[in-house]
Chain A
């Protein structure tokens, strides 16, 4: 009760001069007018005692605050340590799972290498043999295109080097040239041969034939010799070493390759 009385804010009578009161009791306490005529006994306690009591109270509050703070700090420390330990345990578990999976993968690494090697060889052979030409089909087509009276004397292939054709204004998709030589009964047979090159299966694989020389008029007892350059198209690629579904792309790639003089790709 005494403490509450001390804490309660007293009214201050400013009209009273504190210096007129008891000289030993200076300060605002001595000039207070308390609502209750019965003044608290605390007023009779000397000031230093009251100050000490107040200081002790403040000290208790400070100690209490510090204690609460310390408690909070300890709680925070413990919580952080527990969380860190929990994370460490989780990390160890996760690393164990990862390590286990890695071990299993490592155990199968030779299988991975084997498959990689197989794939590497498959791709390498495909890329090397992509330019394979159907020479037998070319020869057969050429032979079947010879009309009666024409004899094939020679032919040679030049893969990746198309010959100049009869039309200088277009760039047909030729991949090589056959230089054909032979004899005929007459120049008209040579003309018939050129027409045959444009018919049926020959038209797909042969293109842009051009006669570079005809000698001899033929006829009775005579003969005509000729040389013809005839190009062959990308239909001449066998593509038997590439998957069927990749044929179109492979033909384009092979065309680019032979035209870049990478015939058979010499490492």
Chain B
């Protein structure tokens, strides 16, 4: 092989390599990289779509069961109203006392305190932020009551207090039995509760017939 041939072959090989490498690094490589990125993005999008479809199915089932949920909220709101509605609450206590046959001596409710952090929630793990105070949806008001009547009436009063529409969580009871000339009396402390209003869901816009969305 002559030097000229060797030179020709060398140049040819070099040009070929430059062509191949140039094409790979300038076009083929980036395109393959882009394709790999697209495939990864497609995998992610597919996974998210699957998760969203599952979520959607759950939400649609909830939407279909909205009347039941609204009934539950209404029942909850009856027990734990959004505001004190003190006139109704006082009427409830007085009716309970009257029906039980006791005479109320005093009623001392405190202003409802704004809800704090969930007192029963486990302490946040180290390095995590505590749940915001506003997250706890229930407020409470302390109540002190005293009443007097026969022992049987007092017993009925305690039972009636336990079964009021708006729950009264009794913390303590002091009972004094009847003595000659005087009936039994009872003093108790407890709590009644209010719940933060729950916003009604916004009806979803009707799907566009063209896009189905």
A residues contacting B by CB (< 8 A) are 51, 54-55, 58-59, 62-63, 65-66, 69-70, 72-73, 76-77, 80-81, 83-84, 87-88, 90-91, 94-95, 97-98, 100-105, 107-108, 110-115, 117-118, 120-122, 124-125, 127-129, 131-136, 139-140, 143, 151-159, 182, 238, 241, 257, 262-267
A-B residue pairs in contact (CB < 8 Å), sample of 27: A58-B9, A65-B12, A66-B19, A77-B27, A83-B31, A87-B39, A94-B45, A100-B213, A110-B199, A111-B201, A112-B62, A117-B198, A118-B69, A121-B195, A124-B136, A128-B140, A132-B167, A135-B173, A152-B175, A153-B176, A155-B175, A156-B172, A156-B175, A159-B172, A238-B162, A266-B140, A267-B140
Total interface residues on B, CB under 8 Å, equals 87
Residues of B163-212 at the interface with A, using a CB-CB cut-off of 8 Å, are 167, 169-177, 190-191, 193, 195-196, 198-202, 204-205, 211-212
Q: Does B123 contact A (CB under 8 A)?
A: no
- Nearest A residue (CB) for B158: A136
B residues contacting A by CB (< 8 A) are 1-2, 4-5, 8-9, 11-12, 15-16, 19-20, 23-24, 27-28, 31-32, 34-35, 38-39, 41-42, 45-46, 48-49, 52-53, 55-56, 59-60, 62-63, 66, 69, 72-73, 76, 79-80, 113, 115-120, 135-138, 140, 151, 154-155, 158-159, 161-162, 167, 169-177, 190-191, 193, 195-196, 198-202, 204-205, 211-213
> Which residue in A77, A100, A110, A135 is a CB contact (below 8 Å) of B201?
A110
User: Which residues in A have their C-beta under 8 angstroms from that of B169?
Assistant: 128-129, 131-132, 264
Contact A114 B34 (CB under 8 A): no
